[in-house]
Amino acid sequence: MNVSGNCLCGAVKVAAQGEPLFMGKCYCTDCQRGSGGGHSTVVALPEPAVSISGPLTKYVSKGDSGYDVTRAFCPTCGARVYAAAAAMPGVTMVQAGILNDAETIVPGMSIFAASAAHWDQPPAHLPSFPRMPQGPG
């Protein structure tokens, strides 16, 4: 999968090659507040596969895991570009909304579904987790 995109004003550009680790919708309250909507849709890629150019401002907060989550956005237009969670080292979660070819984005799951607003519920056809699913080990 080759994807490219940019922020609202075009100052930040994103390109990535390689297969996504996952694509999903997150309904946690941080994603709701950060997106200004009911959820955030991301394409998770190995960090080395992602190239980002342009100025970024970053905001770091504690995720539900207790580990830091860094969210990067354009300082000019405010568009969210990506997130990186210390609980998932080496993974860059690019905001699906900034990508040029939306047809290539196929979310495979919903997480933090228990936090979903009544007006933005997870799609019934996707696997849905009330919180963050635990990985092996």
Write the pLDDT tens digit of every residue in 70-94: 999 999 999 999 999 999 999 999 9
Which of the pair, 128 or 135, is modelled with greater confidence?
Answer: 128
Task: Say what the pLDDT of residue 136 is.
Answer: 44
Q: What is the dihedral of CA 124, 24, 19, 134, to 10 degrees?
A: -100
Q: Provide, rounded to the nearest whole percent, the portion of the chain with pLDDT above 90.
A: 82
pTM: 0.91
d(CA 95, CA 73): 10
- Over residues 45-61, mean pLDDT: 97
Q: Give the pLDDT confidence of 99-122 residue by residue, as tens digits.
A: 998 888 999 999 999 999 999 999
Q: Do the beta carbons of residue 128 and residue 122 sit within 8 Å?
A: yes
Phi, psi of 42 (to 5 degrees): -130, 155
Indicate the domain borders of the chain.
2-115
Strand order in the sheet with 57-62: 57-62, 68-73, 80-85, 91-95, 40-46, 22-26, 109-111
DSSP classification of residue 128: B
Using 50, 70 and 90 to split pLDDT, how confident is the model at 135?
low
pLDDT averaged over every residue in the chain: 93
- Over residues 115-135, mean pLDDT: 90
Task: Say what the pLDDT of residue 21 is.
Answer: 95
Paired strand residues for 3: 16
Using 50, 70 and 90 to split pLDDT, how confident is the model at 137?
very low
Q: Which fold has domain 2-115?
A: 2.170.150
